[in-house]
């Protein structure tokens, strides 16, 4: 048994879980699917005194669309999300959910756990910025909604206050003429992405870009929006030349770390290539082309 | 913050390969350790023990999971299928038979996990194509390289319309 000993609790409701976490104090951690937390505990990078198992709380596994918003329950496993109607309707969601790690991790790992863990390179926190998502949290002070860019503050650090839990993620349903894609580059299925890119865009009937959001993962301590690149594209008829300019603008804001996977220069080049590939898929999807998402393995 | 009591035991009830077990376990006991040490079901292997290799794959309520990345207490009330549960009445499961016929292994350490991932895939998608098979075992690729015979073995069962699951 590699993890340090901890006390185990299994609350019956969300309210009870929040009360328990608040009462137990900062030594307590929530446990959802455990696919990020358990490896951390096995390495003893963290030694919580108590684990509050929220994995089987009722009513937190859902994906629905209402009043122009799509909501995904925090305890929805990645694989379940990938098979949901929401993912079928919004391809960038399917790319992300169906591409995370491998089938086994997708069985257990949850969207709420993933955004709460806020691993710097992981898929959901990056992809959700391309959808301008909001994180719905419930804690001792009640419910609040936090935009994703204000939720993930730093690697492994979120805006969650003590005792607070993510209950759902929501974003506006993409308008007609929208297309999106998310592609990660990784060593193998089970590995975290080295870099990833997401593009969500809306074209009008004259193929003019009405809206676009571009996100880069693995390009800094947290995922970042390439706002200058977006400005290059908005209001214009998109062409390969324009995308090339946008890609240059995007990698100008990328600050990837040099590590065992490659130099910063290599990763900027990787991000540029990934972005052009992702943009190409997003453009074709905006014209209703059916393209299966596929991550790229080194 | 007090130090947790190492002796806390949680009573869990699980069904493994159709048989019910009730045990009091330490919360930090991993499912793979529970299966191997408490139940003596050593067919489930510990490979990398870092949630990478998939050798420890079992099914929990029909879904493939890495039993090295799951506490036994999380499986409480669940139905678990391990590689020992595939054969029936001394007859190998069609997947096991096919792995044998196609020599679907190299060193063989990853085989139990491969079988459990393939079994879960064919339950959901009985006629899975090669692309779906590759995706399903992406979490089981180990380090021997190749995998061609493993793909052939799973494909043969997926293509066998007469073969039962």
Look at B50 and A51 and tell me if their CB atoms are within 8 Å: no
- What integer pLDDT is reported at residue B3 of this predicted model? 65
Give dist(CA A84, CA A103) in Å, integer. 15
Domain that holds residue B104: 94-159
A52, β-bridge pairs: A9, A30
For chain B, say whether A64 makes contact (Cβ under 8 Å).
no
A17-33 average pLDDT score = 97
Residue B66 lies in a domain: yes
Give dist(CA A99, CA A97) in Å, integer. 6
**Cα–Cα separations (whole angstroms), residue A220 to A151, A154, A216, B85:** 16, 10, 9, 47
Do A125 and A212 have their domain in common? no
- Least confident range from A52-61, A144-153, A183-192: namely A183-192
- Interface with chain B: mutation pick from A104, A184, A295, highest number of B CBs within 10 Å: A104
Residue B164 lies in a domain: no
Question: What is the pLDDT of chain A when averaged over all its residues?
Answer: 96
Residue A286 lies in a domain: yes
Is B71 in a helix, a strand, or coil?
strand
- What integer pLDDT is reported at residue A174 of this predicted model? 97
Give dist(CA A266, CA A70) in Å, integer. 37
ipTM of the complex: 0.94
Cβ contact B31:B74 at 8 Å: yes
**Residues in chain B within 8 Å Cβ distance of A2:** 28, 49
A22-49 average pLDDT score = 96
Q: Which of B56, B85, B114 is at the close of a domain?
A: B85
Residue B136 lies in a domain: yes
Give dist(CA A131, CA B37) in Å, integer. 46
- What integer pLDDT is reported at residue A31 of this predicted model? 98
Domain that holds residue A86: 63-172
Residues 6+ positions from B146 with CB-CB distance below 8 Å: B106
Look at B139 and A79 and tell me if their CB atoms are within 8 Å: no
- What integer pLDDT is reported at residue B146 of this predicted model? 79
Tens of pLDDT along chain B (165 residues) come to 456 666 799 999 999 999 999 999 999 999 999 999 999 999 999 999 888 899 999 999 999 999 999 999 999 999 999 999 999 999 999 999 999 999 999 899 999 999 999 999 999 999 999 999 999 999 999 777 779 999 999 999 999 865 444
- What integer pLDDT is reported at residue B69 of this predicted model? 98
CB-nearest to A27 from B1, B5, B8 is B1
Residue B32 lies in a domain: yes
Look at A101 and B54 and tell me if their CB atoms are within 8 Å: no
Residue A58 lies in a domain: no
Give dist(CA B15, CA B3) in Å, integer. 33
Cβ contact B89:B121 at 8 Å: no
The total of structural domains in chain B comes to 2
In which residue are the tokens 């419930």 written? A138
CATH label of the domain that carries residue B44: 3.10.20.30
Contacts 24+ apart (CB under 8 A), B32-37: B32/B56, B32/B58, B32/B67, B32/B68, B33/A1, B33/B72, B34/B72, B34/B75, B35/B67, B35/B80, B35/B82
- What integer pLDDT is reported at residue A295 of this predicted model? 77
* Percent of chain A residues past pLDDT 70, beyond the cut: 99
Residues 6+ positions from A278 with CB-CB distance below 8 Å: A181, A182, A183, A197, A198, A199
Give dist(CA B129, CA B158) in Å, integer. 8
- Least confident range from A60-69, A156-165, B139-148: namely B139-148
Do A284 and A205 have their domain in common? yes
pLDDT surpassing 80 at residue A1: no
Do A270 and A237 have their domain in common? yes
Do A108 and A213 have their domain in common? no
Do B67 and B16 have their domain in common? yes
Residue B2 lies in a domain: no
- What integer pLDDT is reported at residue A33 of this predicted model? 97
Q: Where are the beta strands (DSSP E) in chain A?
A: 7-9, 28-31, 50-53, 63-66, 69-73, 134-139, 142-147, 152-154, 157-158, 165-172, 178-186, 195-203, 209-217, 224-225, 296-297
Distance from CA of B101 to the nearest CA of A (A): 26
CATH label of the domain that carries residue A136: 3.30.465.10
For residue A77, what is the nearest residue in chain B, using CA coordinates?
B63
Do A39 and A72 have their domain in common? no
Do B73 and B111 have their domain in common? no
For residue A33, what is the nearest residue in chain B, using CA coordinates?
B70
CATH label of the domain that carries residue A190: 3.30.390.50
A59-77 average pLDDT score = 97
For chain B, say whether A38 makes contact (Cβ under 8 Å).
yes
**Residues in chain A within 8 Å Cβ distance of B121:** 103
Do A193 and A167 have their domain in common? no
Q: Which of B58, B85, B112 is at the close of a domain?
A: B85
Distance from CA of B49 to the nearest CA of A (A): 9
Look at A79 and B63 and tell me if their CB atoms are within 8 Å: yes
The total of structural domains in chain A comes to 3
Residues 6+ positions from B63 with CB-CB distance below 8 Å: A79, A107, A108, B120
For residue A27, what is the nearest residue in chain B, using CA coordinates?
B1
- What integer pLDDT is reported at residue A298 of this predicted model? 64
- What integer pLDDT is reported at residue B6 of this predicted model? 61
- Interface with chain B: mutation pick from A49, A103, A108, A113, highest number of B CBs within 10 Å: A103
pLDDT digits (tens, 9 = 90+) for A214-257: 999 999 999 999 999 999 999 999 999 999 999 999 999 999 99
Do B131 and B152 have their domain in common? yes
Cβ contact B113:B55 at 8 Å: yes
Look at A104 and B28 and tell me if their CB atoms are within 8 Å: no
For chain A, say whether B46 makes contact (Cβ under 8 Å).
no
Residue A124 lies in a domain: yes
pLDDT surpassing 70 at residue A49: yes
Residue B151 lies in a domain: yes
Q: Which of B68, B85, B102 is at the close of a domain?
A: B85
CB-nearest to A104 from B5, B33, B139 is B139
**Residues in chain A within 8 Å Cβ distance of B29:** 1
pLDDT digits (tens, 9 = 90+) for A125-138: 999 999 999 999 99
Do A105 and A132 have their domain in common? yes
């Amino acid at each position: 048994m590699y993890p340090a000993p901890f006390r185990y609790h299994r609350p019956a409701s969300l309210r009870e879980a929040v009360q328990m976490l608040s009462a137990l104090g900062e030594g307590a951690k929530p446990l959802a699917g455990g696919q990020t937390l358990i490896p951390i505990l096995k390495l003893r990078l963290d030694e919580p005194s108590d684990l509050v198992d929220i994995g089987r709380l009722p009513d937190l596994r859902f994906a629905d669309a209402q009043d122009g918003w799509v909501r995904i329950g925090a305890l929805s496993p990645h694989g379940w999300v990938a098979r949901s109607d929401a993912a079928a309707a919004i391809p960038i969601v399917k790319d992300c959910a169906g591409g995370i790690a491998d089938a086994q991790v997708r069985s257990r790992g949850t969207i709420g756990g993933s955004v709460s863990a806020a691993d710097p390179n992981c898929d959901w926190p990056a992809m959700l910025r391309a959808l301008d998502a909001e994180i719905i949290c419930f804690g001792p002070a009640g419910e609040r909604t936090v935009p994703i860019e204000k939720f993930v503050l730093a690697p492994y650090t979120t805006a969650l206050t003590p005792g607070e839990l993510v209950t759902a993620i929501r974003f506006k349903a993409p308008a007609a003429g929208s297309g999106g894609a998310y592609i990660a580059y990784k060593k193998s299925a089970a590995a975290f992405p080295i870099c990833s890119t997401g593009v969500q865009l809306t074209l009008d009937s004259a193929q003019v870009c009405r809206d676009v959001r571009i996100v880069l993962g693995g390009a800094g301590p947290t995922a970042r929006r390439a706002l200058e690149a977006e400005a290059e594209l908005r209001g214009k008829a998109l062409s390969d030349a324009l995308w090339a300019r946008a890609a240059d603008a995007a990698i100008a804001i990328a600050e990837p770390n040099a590590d065992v996977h490659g130099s910063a220069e290599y990763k900027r080049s990787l991000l540029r290539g990934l972005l052009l590939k992702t943009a190409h898929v997003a453009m074709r999807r905006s014209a209703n082309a059916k393209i299966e998402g596929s991550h790229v393995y080194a | 913050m007090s130090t947790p009591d190492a002796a806390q035991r949680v009573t869990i009830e699980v069904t493994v390969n159709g048989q019910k077990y009730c045990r009091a376990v330490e919360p930090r006991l991993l499912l793979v350790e529970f299966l191997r040490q408490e139940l003596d079901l050593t067919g489930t292997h510990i490979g990398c023990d870092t949630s990478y290799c998939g050798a420890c794959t079992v099914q929990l309520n029909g879904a493939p999971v890495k039993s090295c990345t799951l506490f036994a207490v999380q499986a409480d009330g669940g139905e678990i299928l391990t590689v020992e549960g595939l054969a029936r009445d001394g007859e190998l499961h069609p997947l096991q038979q096919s792995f044998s016929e196609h020599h679907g292994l190299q060193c063989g350490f990853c085989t139990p996990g491969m079988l459990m991932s393939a079994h879960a895939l064919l339950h959901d998608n009985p006629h899975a194509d090669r692309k779906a098979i590759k995706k399903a075992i992406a979490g089981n690729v180990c380090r021997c390289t190749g995998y061609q015979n493993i793909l052939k073995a799973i494909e043969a069962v997926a293509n066998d319309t007469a073969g039962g699951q």
